[in-house]
Structures are given as structure tokens and as C-alpha cells.
Amino acid sequence: MTMSDDREEFARNASKNAAALGEDKALFEQSKKLVLGLDKYDYSYLWSWMGVPIIQMPADVLATQEVIWNTKPDIIIETGVARGGSVLFMASILEMMGNGQVIGVDIDIRAHNRESIESHPMSKRVTLIEGGSVDEDTLAKVRKEIPEGARVMVILDSDHSRDHVLAECRAYGPMVTPDCYLVVADTLVGHLTEDEAPKKRSHIWFKGNEPLAAMNDYLAENDRFEIDPVINGKLVLSSSPGGYLRCTKA
């Protein structure tokens, strides 16, 4: 017996359910409480990618993989390198696709983290730039690494204060090309009360002075991006719900 090809129907149902999940406010509150409970155990710090700490929630890793595969960027810029797992994860996806480079930008790339990255098999697809992410000399170095006509994706995951993230949106948003994504990380903080905000951090961010506030301000002043209801709808148990923005205009 020959089964009918149901791939398109499967994809339609998945998209429909993802968008509906994103509208389920009660379930989002349950998810938020679970994420806060997991933070007691530094949950996002427990994972690694190909031997290097990635410091991401699994749902965010999968969402980023889907976006990269679907949009095929030539260049992925990430502000905030940390221990390097995230840039190496994205580099490995690009390696499997046979094209592309990740540009990791950080104000302080520590020697042991640089060694982890530069000695890794995926380092050939990583370019590291040390400097303040919105400093003009840093931005000039980033632009120099982007070939003419390249498809560009950006992930903002450095200093999470509202003013800094907004400055990054304004600096890097124009680099994102149509149908590619600007990802504003750690938007979950904008959904937390002051009592709920994680305290086990070198910096503590409270509602109003965090990435979601910056993202909303940027969207209010810029009409090039829209919140993708399908990819964001799936982001329960996530650090970045609502943070995946698709570029709709040149």
C-alpha cells in the first residue's frame, strides 16, 4: 500500500499549532515558572555543543537552527561570545550547509575561551572581533567581514540593559538582509516581576531595563522587522520568547 505524501499537510499543522501555542497565555505562565525553577540549578549553563559550553536553553538552540536552515545566511553576527559554544554551534550548522561565516563580537574574549574556540574543528567558520559591540571601530571591523551581497543574520546577546540592546538594534539591525532574522536574546526578563528576576547573575536586569523593552522600542521606530508568530510561538521553556524578528524590507 502506497501512503500519500503528507509533508505539506504536516508542515501546515505544525505551523498552525506553533502559532496557537504562542497565544496560550496560561501555558506561557506555567512555562515561565518552570524556567525560573530550573534557574536554581543554572539550567542554561548545563549544556554544551561539541564539547564547549553553549549557555543556551535547548528550545532556543533548536529555534536558531531552524532559522539558519530555512534562511541560509552567509554571515551570522553574534554579540556576546561568552565561552564560545554558541558561535561554534552556528558555525557547525553552516559547515553542514557548506557555506557561511560566524562573526563573534565581545568586549572581552578571555584567553581560555579564545583557545577553546580557535582550537575547535569548527573554528574555520568563526571570526572573532574583540571590542565594544557598538563602538564605531568595532562596527567598522564587522562591516569589513561582510561580503557584498551577503545574506546577514544577527543575534544580540551581550549587555542586556535596555539602552545597550537598543543601541545594538540600531547598529546591527540595518545589517540584516530581507527574509533573514534579528534575534534579541533574553527577552524573558521583560516578562518577570522584580521578585521573579534571576539574582544569580553578575548583572541583574529588571523589567523596563532589559532586552524586551529595547526590542519593543526598536520595533516602534523601525518598520523593517516583524515578530515571527510561528518560530516564537514554539518558544516555551525559552530565554528569548518573542525575540525572533524577521526582516521584511531592504
Tens of pLDDT, residue by residue, the chain (250 residues):
778 999 999 999 999 999 999 999 999 999 999 999 999 999 999 999 999 999 999 999 999 999 999 999 999 999 999 999 999 999 999 999 999 999 999 999 999 999 999 999 999 999 999 999 999 999 999 999 999 999 999 999 999 999 999 999 999 999 999 999 999 999 999 999 888 887 777 677 889 999 999 999 999 999 999 999 999 999 999 999 999 999 999 9
SS3 category, 10 = helix
Other C-beta atoms lying within 10 Å of the C-beta of residue 25: 8
Q: What is the pTM of this model?
A: 0.96
Q: What is the pLDDT of residue 111?
A: 97
Cα–Cα dist 22/231, whole Å? 9
Other C-beta atoms lying within 10 Å of the C-beta of residue 19: 16
Cell 572573532 belongs to residue: 128
Cα–Cα dist 233/211, whole Å? 18
Q: What is the pLDDT of residue 131?
A: 98
Name the grid cell of 32.
Answer: 515561565
Q: What is the pLDDT of residue 1?
A: 72
To which CATH superfamily is domain 7-247 assigned? Vaccinia Virus protein VP39 (3.40.50.150)
Torsion angle in degrees (nearest 10) through CA of 207, 44, 101, 164: 20
User: Do 52 and 84 meet the contact criterion of CB atoms below 8 Å apart?
Assistant: yes
Q: What is the pLDDT of residue 202?
A: 67
Q: What is the pLDDT of residue 75?
A: 98
Phi and psi angles of residue 4, each rounded to the nearest 5 degrees, phi first: -70, 155
What's at 128, amino acid-wise?
A: L
Cα–Cα dist 103/146, whole Å? 9
Name which of 131, 155, 129, 154 is nearest 142 in CA terms.
129
SS3 category, 70 = helix
Cα–Cα dist 81/107, whole Å? 9
Q: What is the pLDDT of residue 61?
A: 98
Cα–Cα dist 249/156, whole Å? 20
Spans of all domains in the chain = 7-247
Cell 551577503 belongs to residue: 150
The H helix count followed by the E strand count for the chain is: 9, 9
- Strand ranges for the chain from DSSP E: 48-49, 52-53, 75-79, 101-106, 126-130, 152-156, 181-184, 225-227, 244-247
Element (H, E) at 192: none
SS3 category, 149 = coil
